[in-house]
Amino acid sequence: MLPLRRQPSQVLPWLDIHSLRFRLTAGVVLASALTIGSVTAWLNWQLQQSLLASQQIAVTDLSQQFREDVTLYDTTMPTQAAVQKAIDQRAMGDTAIWVRTADEAMWAQSETLRMGSWQAAGITEFVQTLPPQPRVELVTVGDRSLALCVSTFDMAGQDLGALYVIKDVTQARQTYLAMMRHLVVISGSAVVVLAILIAVYVGRSLRPLKSLSQQVAGVTAEALDVTQLQLDQAPTEVTELALALDHTLECLAQSWTQQRRLLGDVSHELRTPLTLVQGYLQSTLRRCQTLTTDQRDGLETAAAEADRTIQILNDLLVLTRARMGHLQIGAAPIDVKPVLLAAVMQVDPAGDRIEADIQAAPLWVRGDANALQQVFVKLLENALNYSPPGTPVIVRAGRQADQAVVQVCDQGRGIPLAEQTAIFQPFYRVDVDRSRATGGTGLGLAIVHTLLTQMHGRIQVQSVPAVGSTFTVQLPLTQGE
């Protein structure tokens, strides 16, 4: 029995996780996704560092400019007034500046801290709790992002407290986040597009291998010696594989030819002496009247076995000649009805087992009368051998369109669905033990299929286990004589 083979998906073959196409595509796409993801993460980090550095530099520069303004105004007005004027000049809608003394008292501040939007966002409350330790950083208050610079503030060597500069960078951060979202979308889209392109490219690259697989799968025993694998613009590795397979097929063809020739020679050489032995046994049984009962039984058994062996050899010769192209089949117009009735009489001389129902006559087909009768005989013998005793076998003949149709129906054990296509192979037997009991060799249906193929006909089987089987023969109709 052949081992079971995994069948690929017919709906979405590219989703077959065991296929080379899927593995190559998945591997390359995964590597590309990791590369693009790494680049995206690096760009994200770079942009984040750039945003942080730029805002820190901005508030640091603003703090320095504020000090310069205070130094300039301090020559013409009191220090506190100079500080307040510098705050009013430098503070904008998104910037707040204030100075807090060493005892945490607010010495000067911008109007920004009194804005309703800043108070509602909790920024004003937040800045009141900031410690005076010098630092430059980005902080988050609610949904707002702030750049903060805290430094000591002194004038003329006098420590006035701590200078606080804060700038609302929420818009810049939102812009940065939008850029990140766009970057992620672009990266994801790039991965998807790249996956599609890679899948298409891998599929095209594997076409020669798929073509090679299909050609090898279509090789039959009869076509071994004429099979030549054809590949166009295939990669070097696939071409080398094709050459190796060609060599293997050539060796198989030689072995198959030698096997068929040996089988034909052996069958032919054995048939002649067996025919002589059979004739001698039949002559002895007819002419010798002094045989005891045991002797006659023994000779009758020997004659029957010789006849059976000759029939097997004849079947082997037919198969061998057909596969070697040496089988000669006539192509004369013949009427199916007399051939079928002759086969029925040959198989069932008593006429108590086979019921014939010929619905249309004449049915002219083109072929060989002896070969066609052999087809019907083997189908009828097969039906009788595998039917329970006393059950009838029904034979129908009729016309369907341009075909002559003959059906042989039995009420036997039936044939499992999985084996219905294999029964026409030589030596194949569904039930080995029962075939031995009925004398079956597994050649009958193979002979039927071979002879019908030579006459441009075909045979089909419909069977239900424990119910029975129906073998249908179809032959093209032709003009009668």
438 pLDDT band, cuts 50/70/90, is low
Residue 226 has a CB neighbour count (10 Å cut-off) of: 9
Contact of 97 with 165, CB cutoff 8 Å: yes
As a whole number of angstroms, the distance between CA 441 and CA 315 comes to 10
As a whole number of angstroms, the distance between CA 114 and CA 110 comes to 8
Query: Residue written as tokens 């009925």?
Result: 438
Predicted confidence at residue 162, as pLDDT, reads 87
> Per mean pLDDT, which range of 68-77, 226-235, 276-285 is the poorest?
226-235
**What's CA 161's distance to the chain center, in Å?**
77
- Angle between helix 207-217 and 236-287 (nearest 10): 0
The percentage of residues in the chain with a pLDDT greater than 90, rounded to a whole number, is: 13
Higher pLDDT, 437 or 145: 145
Q: What is the mean pLDDT of residues 146-168?
A: 83
Predicted confidence at residue 222, as pLDDT, reads 64
Global pTM reads: 0.50
What tens digit of pLDDT does each residue of 381-416 get? 989 988 888 889 999 999 998 999 999 999 988 888
Res. 99: pLDDT tops 50: yes
Predicted confidence at residue 75, as pLDDT, reads 81
Angle at 160 between CA 154 and CA 165, to 5 degrees: 80
3-state secondary structure at position 50: helix
Res. 302: pLDDT tops 80: yes
Cα 37 to Cα 41, 194, 313, distances in angstroms: 6, 13, 73
As a whole number of angstroms, the distance between CA 209 and CA 234 comes to 8
Angle at 131 between CA 129 and CA 134, to 5 degrees: 145
Q: Give the start-to-end residue ranges of the domains of the chain.
A: 41-177, 236-323, 332-476
260 pLDDT band, cuts 50/70/90, is low
As a whole number of angstroms, the distance between CA 428 and CA 440 comes to 10
Predicted confidence at residue 5, as pLDDT, reads 46
Predicted confidence at residue 439, as pLDDT, reads 52
Predicted confidence at residue 132, as pLDDT, reads 85
3-state secondary structure at position 429: coil
Q: What is the mean pLDDT of residues 281-297?
A: 81
Res. 11: pLDDT tops 60: no
Higher pLDDT, 23 or 452: 452
CB-based burial label for 469 (10 Å; 0-12, 13-18, 19+): buried
Contact of 428 with 375, CB cutoff 8 Å: no
Mean pLDDT, the chain, integer: 82
Q: Was domain 332-476 assigned CATH 3.40.50.2300?
A: no
Query: Residue written as tokens 């979308």?
Result: 185
The alpha-carbon radius of gyration of the chain (Å, integer) is 49
332-476 has the same fold as 236-323 = no
Q: What is the mean pLDDT of residues 301-321?
A: 76
What tens digit of pLDDT does each residue of 14-66 get? 567 777 778 888 888 888 888 888 888 888 888 888 877 888 888 888 888 88
Res. 263: pLDDT tops 70: no
Domain 236-323 CATH (choose: 1.25.40.10, 1.10.287.130, 3.40.50.720, 3.30.1490.190): 1.10.287.130
Residue 417 has a CB neighbour count (10 Å cut-off) of: 11
Instruction: Give the residue among 160, 146, 152 at the shortest CA–CA distance from 133.
Output: 152
Res. 454: pLDDT tops 70: yes
Q: What is the mean pLDDT of residues 112-116?
A: 82
Contact of 396 with 406, CB cutoff 8 Å: yes
Q: What is the mean pLDDT of residues 459-465?
A: 92
What tens digit of pLDDT does each residue of 337-376 get? 999 999 999 999 888 889 998 887 789 999 989 889 989 9
Fold (CATH) for 41-177: Beta-Lactamase (3.30.450)
As a whole number of angstroms, the distance between CA 461 and CA 441 comes to 19
φ, ψ dihedrals at 432, nearest 5°: -65, -45
3-state secondary structure at position 364: strand
What tens digit of pLDDT does each residue of 189-229 get? 988 898 888 888 888 888 888 888 888 887 776 676 667 77
HSE, CB side, 13 Å, CA atoms: give it for residue 469: 24
Res. 380: pLDDT tops 90: yes
Res. 261: pLDDT tops 90: no
Query: Residue written as tokens 């002759």?
Result: 342
- The 8-class DSSP code of residue 477 comes to B
Res. 480: pLDDT tops 80: no
As a whole number of angstroms, the distance between CA 249 and CA 228 comes to 9
For residue 235, give the amino acid letter.
Answer: P
Predicted confidence at residue 14, as pLDDT, reads 55
